A = this chain, B = another copy of it.
Amino acid sequence: MDAPGERDLMGDTTRPEPEPRWLSDGEQRVWRSYLHATTLLEDHLDRQLQRDAGMPHVYYGLLVQLAQAPRRRMRMTELARSAKITRSRLSHAVARLEKNGWVRREECPSDKRGQFALLTDEGAEVLRRTAPGHVAAVRQAMFDRLSPEQVEQLGAIMRVMAEGLEPAGSHADLPWLR
């Protein structure tokens, strides 16, 4: 399982390259299953939504966030943060959604730098029409196939992983992750 360390060989205090701890066979299998399942699911949902709603999964997620926000509106940065995407990406995305008439921008009165993105009625309608199909897809891929215990386990596992990634790494355009 663990790779034998080489650090003791010469009492090296600088440790230029500690022998990496490779993944065990079991871990490799889990890792592959993880990659496998997550990419298949993301692809599946992307295609499902592209077909039924005319937008990729991420964009759909943005509409959902807006729909649940107080006055159907959110500041750009907050929306980016809760959707886990860069502000740059959000700018492009909102521009596209705006072209579709599903989102509008509105200036922020208290902060002239700020912008609100807000869900239009048309946007809400798209959501209303396509949500059932999307939920069905999610159910079919995940909740209908897992036992209640597994769902709970998955929740706990994903929370732990997310925790570890949230405050990590300094990103150029993800200042809230510093």
Chain A residues packing against B (C-beta within 8 Å): 17, 20-23, 26-27, 29-31, 33-44, 47, 61, 84, 131-132, 135-136, 138-143, 145-146, 150-166, 168-169, 171
- Bound CA–CA A150/B154 (angstroms): 9
Q: Check B145–A33 contact: CB distance below 8 A.
A: no
A–B pairs, 25, beta carbons within 8 Å: A20-B131, A20-B132, A21-B136, A21-B139, A22-B135, A26-B155, A30-B152, A33-B158, A33-B159, A34-B142, A36-B162, A37-B159, A38-B42, A40-B166, A41-B165, A47-B169, A145-B160, A145-B163, A145-B164, A146-B160, A150-B153, A150-B156, A153-B154, A153-B157, A154-B157
Are A38 and B38 also in contact (CB < 8 A) when A135-B21, A141-B164, A150-B156 are? yes
CB distance from A58 to the nearest CB of B (A): 8
Q: Which residue of chain B has its CB nearest to the CB of A24?
A: B143
Q: Check B20–A138 contact: CB distance below 8 A.
A: no
Q: Check A161–B29 contact: CB distance below 8 A.
A: no
Interchain residue pairs A-B with the least CB separation, the first 7: A20-B132, A33-B158, A30-B155, A40-B165, A37-B162, A37-B158, A37-B161
- Bound CA–CA A139/B129 (angstroms): 41
Q: For A156, what are the chain B residues with a Cβ–Cβ distance below 8 Å? A: 150
Q: Which residue of chain B has its CB nearest to the CB of A61?
A: B35
- Bound CA–CA A118/B35 (angstroms): 22
